[in-house]
Amino acid sequence: MNSTIMPNVNLGDYTIVGSGAVVTKSFPDGFCVIAGNPAKIIKKLKKEECHLYRNDHEYYGYIKKEKFGNFRKKKLNV
């Protein structure tokens, strides 16, 4: 909640961002908890203990994946 992630910042899988954090650099390796201003790693997570989960509903921004093709044709001039 109320976190700020700056442009061009890359967060890897299983990166948990603390409330109110300001993320100014990338954490591409993931598997960590970051917090603070500027954000830094406060805890490393063990990969073998993380439960792999994929949501059935994928989005591109706020648009569902299956509707993105039509949106792209109408709005993005591609």
Question: What are the pLDDT digits (tens) for 26-76?
Answer: 999 999 999 999 999 999 999 999 887 777 888 887 888 889 888 888 888
Q: Measure Cα distances from 4 to 7, 51, 73, 75 in Å.
A: 10, 26, 31, 27
Gap between the Cα atoms of 51 and 35, Å rounded: 22
**Interval 12-27 mean pLDDT:** 96
- Radius of gyration from C-alpha coordinates of the chain: 16
Whole-prediction pTM value?
0.68
Query: What value does the mean pLDDT take over residues 6-26?
Result: 95
Taken in order of first residue, the domains within the chain and their CATH numbers are 4-45+53-75 (2.160.10.10)
- Strand partners for 11: 27
Query: Region 20-30: what's the mean pLDDT?
Result: 96
pLDDT at 58: 83
